[in-house]
Each structure stands twice: as C-alpha cells, then as structure tokens.
C-alpha cells in the first residue's frame, strides 16, 4: 500500500514511508498504540472500550490487553508482528488458551485482575474514562458475569500486517460462529521531514459486518430456559413462553390428525 501526502494544491505528492514495528520492542509499540487509542477497535454499537492496564497475568502467562466496554463485554487483545511466525497459527491457540483460563472466573476475581490493589470498584474506574448515563453499575456487572460464565469474549489479534493464513482462520471462525475472533491490522506511515503520521486500521471478522439472513440456533427446552435467563427474563416470563409453545404444539398435533390437514411432523425447534 502506498500513502501519498501533500499540504497545499501547489505542493508535490510526498510518499510516506511505512513505520517499522520490528525489533525487540515492536510488539510493545503495537500494544502501547492500542492501549492509548482503544477506539481503533470498532464496536457494533459504537460502545467505547477501556483497557485499564497492559500485561494482565493469566496463569503462567500474561495477555497483552484486557478490557471491557460499558455493556460488560470482555475484550482480550494479543499483539503480534507480521514477521513473527506465531501470527499465522500459534497466536490463535494462545488467545484461545487465555479465553479458556478466563471463562468461569468470578466477577470479584476478574475485577481484581484489572484493578489490582487500587481498592476501587471496576465500574467506578470505568466511569472515570467513559460515561453512559443509561447504564447502571448492576447492568454492567451482570454483563461482565454473563461474559465470564459463557466465555463469549471478544478476542482480537492486533498485527501490523495480516497474512492470508491468519485472515483465513478469522473468516472461517466467523462463518462457523461460536468464537468471536477478530484481527486488527494496523499499518502506520510517517514523513520524517514534517513529522506527519498516518494510521490505516482494518478489522477482519467483526460480527457486526455480517450480511444476509441470520441463522437460527436450535435449543431443547432446558437450553432455551438457560439462555432466556442469561438474557434477563424472569421465571414467570420463561414459563409463559413455554406455555405458549406447548399450546401451539398441541394445536399442531390436532391439525395433523384432522381430515382437513395432511399429516405433519410434530417435532419443534427453538430458534434465537
């Protein structure tokens, strides 16, 4: 990719040179860039993300960036350079391993990971950096707890130049569903004379870009009740939906045995 720049109609176009993320501190440069500018991670609803600290310990390793948005969605970022062979396959296993270590963690333990010895609640620290008057602390905590319980995290691999192997893995998982893995490509260009910098971000695998019909998910009654409860429905609402389903199923059975209707399969599906 070529980036050309000029600062007046009469000036000639100047080619900006790629910023080199190489060297022993290359991944750290990527990490610092994203920590200071989390808005580079486009979100489906425009919700800002906050990274409270880098290098969060998980087991014997540390994830580069761990953060949350105002809805309680947990965001995990691992930074790699395109020259690093891990960027092709190993980094995918690495970030999935971190997600597995985080899944099932209590809210209190997660809060301690991000706040350390500050003694401040996670919701308070978040509200210092972003404001969302329509969102309560209870809503935020419930969102985080749902993420931790289900393991439905937003996993991001930040890289300075995506390769076909990584792109293929991300797009495959997006098509299959179940894992929210994205790749954020950050290409940076500079002009040494003027000091001008240009950053070209491109994100792959973002679920909000999916087009076409939404594919349903099939549950049994137990699975439906669990998912409905996780989305905030109380027991009376869940039972009302079940009663509606049972009555609807009885009506189908009556029709299927009637001389006015052909025989029909009475099995039922629950779809999201």
Q: Is residue 2 part of a domain?
A: no
Structure tokens at 137: 């602390």
The residue behind tokens 């060297």 is: 23
Tokens (6 digits) for 188: 């940076």
Per the structure, the complete domain to which residue 254 belongs is given by 218-271
- Comparing C-alpha atoms, which of 104, 117, 183, 178 is closest to residue 146? 104
Beta strands in 70-165 (DSSP E): 74-80, 154-159
What is d(CA 56, CA 99) in angstroms, rounded to the nearest whole number?
A: 13
Sequence-separated (6 or more) residues with CB below 8 Å from residue 141:
72, 107, 123
Within-domain flag for 254: yes
The CATH number of the domain holding residue 27 is 3.40.1350.10
Query: Of 11, 31, 10, 13, whose CA–CA distance to 21 is shortest?
Result: 31
- The domain boundary, picked from 155, 188, 209, lies at 209
pLDDT: which is higher, 266 or 201: 201
Q: Is residue 145 part of a domain?
A: yes
Residue-wise pLDDT for 216-251, tens only, equals 344 566 666 776 676 666 676 666 666 655 654 454
Residues 184 and 260 both lie in one domain:
no
Tens digit of pLDDT for each residue in 101-126?
999 999 999 999 998 877 788 988 88
């Amino acid at each position: 990719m070529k980036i050309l720049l000029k600062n007046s109609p009469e000036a000639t176009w100047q080619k900006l040179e790629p910023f080199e993320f190489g060297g022993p501190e290359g991944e750290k440069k990527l990490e610092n860039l994203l920590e200071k500018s989390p808005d580079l991670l486009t979100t489906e609803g425009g919700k800002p993300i906050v990274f409270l600290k880098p290098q969060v310990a998980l087991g014997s390793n540390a994830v580069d960036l761990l953060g949350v948005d105002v809805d309680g969605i947990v965001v995990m970022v691992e930074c790699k350079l395109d020259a690093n062979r891990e960027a092709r396959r190993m980094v995918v296993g690495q970030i999935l391993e971190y997600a597995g270590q985080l899944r099932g963690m209590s809210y209190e333990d997660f809060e301690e990971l991000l706040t350390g010895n500050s003694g401040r609640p996670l919701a308070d620290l978040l509200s210092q950096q972003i404001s969302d008057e329509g969102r309560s602390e209870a809503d935020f905590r419930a969102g985080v707890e749902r993420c931790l319980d289900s393991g439905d995290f937003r996993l991001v691999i930040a890289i300075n130049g995506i390769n076909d192997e990584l792109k293929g893995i991300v797009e495959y998982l997006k098509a299959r569903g179940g894992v929210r893995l994205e790749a954020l490509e950050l290409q940076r260009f500079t002009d040494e004379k003027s000091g001008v910098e240009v950053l070209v971000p491109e994100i792959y695998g973002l679920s909000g870009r999916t087009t076409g019909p939404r594919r349903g998910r099939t549950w049994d009654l137990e699975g439906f009740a669990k998912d409905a409860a996780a989305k905030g429905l109380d027991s009376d609402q869940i039972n009302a939906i079940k009663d509606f389903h049972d009555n609807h199923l009885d009506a189908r059975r009556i029709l299927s045995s009637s001389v006015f209707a052909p025989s029909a399969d009475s099995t039922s599906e629950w779809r999201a």
